[in-house]
Amino acid sequence: MFNLHCIGYLLDDTKAENYSKVYQIIDVLEQLYACKDEAGRDYSDYELYITGHSLGGALTQLLAFVLAGSEEASFIPKPINAISFASPIVGDKNYLEEFQKLEKDNKLRHIRVSNNNDVVPYQVPGFRQTGVNFHVKEGKKMEVKYLNPKSLLSQCRFKSSIPKHGLGSYFSRLYAKDKHGNLLNGDVLRKTIEQLYEDYAGVAYPNRGNTVGSIIFFSCVLSVGCTLLHMVLVSPGLLFWRGVLTLGLKVSDYLWSFARKITKKTKHE
């Protein structure tokens, strides 16, 4: 069982084309992984990170799940990494079991960020959350656990729940500082995704070295821009998709180095 709205959006054939969004995305990624820039650099060994907020968070984990298990996407280096913010729950226990198989096979990882008193990511009867959860709180260290479902009753605060769903609230709590100017969550943000999976999910991976703090910072930047990019990307077609994504890779080095600088500063605090 899946969230039918999300899975239908990804897997149903579109009206404009006779194939699904997933296959459109795979086509774009295949072109991107095969292309070379003017300097001869290719992207064939680049890791894939998928990110989104709210409904985009649900689509993030579903798309990562589909790509990780798809033979058509076998050209993408594994594992595929999902970074979701405020993701609604999307699948039942069978989905969770298949998700965990891909995690154990080193094909899929998911960092799921939720906010205290945000009701959108709450546990729905019959459905299951996935991934390593960062549950951020006001003025406190975040709670880090594997899966970590939260009930609607525990999260519902009628006057404050809506503002807690915004990405700004997520970001400010993730990177909050104590009275001495140190990051409250610095000890976790300095870890890699591989270390977090080993610590909280009991799954050991080779360590690739990028800290989760820099990855999440970069993901927040991308998530904020997703609405604007969506308005540009939905209509023109695959060639323009490829052009925009290639342009994104050309500027990503700057954003990525900036994100890493933010996290590296915490090592000296």
- Pick from 12, 48, 8, 3: which is nearest to 28 by CA? 48
Q: What is the pTM of this model?
A: 0.80
pLDDT tens digits along 96-119: 999 999 999 999 999 999 999 888
Given pLDDT bands bounded at 50, 70 and 90, which one contains residue 34? confident
What is the rounded average pLDDT for all residues in the chain?
79
pLDDT of residue 267: 45
Determine the number of helices (DSSP H) and then strands (DSSP E) in the chain. Answer: 10, 5
By residue count, the chain amounts to 269
What token pair was written down for 144? Answer: 């880090």
Higher-scoring residue by pLDDT: 188, 154:
188
Task: List the single range of 36-45, 71-80, 89-98, 257-266 with lowest mean pLDDT.
Answer: 257-266
Average pLDDT of the segment spanning 234-241: 38
Phi and psi of 246, rounded to 5°? -65, -40
**pLDDT of 227 higher than 50:** no
Q: Which residue has the tokens 């604007």?
A: 228
Average pLDDT of the segment spanning 170-194: 94
The residues, ordered by sequence, that sit 6+ positions from 260 with a Cβ below 8 Å of its Cβ are 210, 211, 214
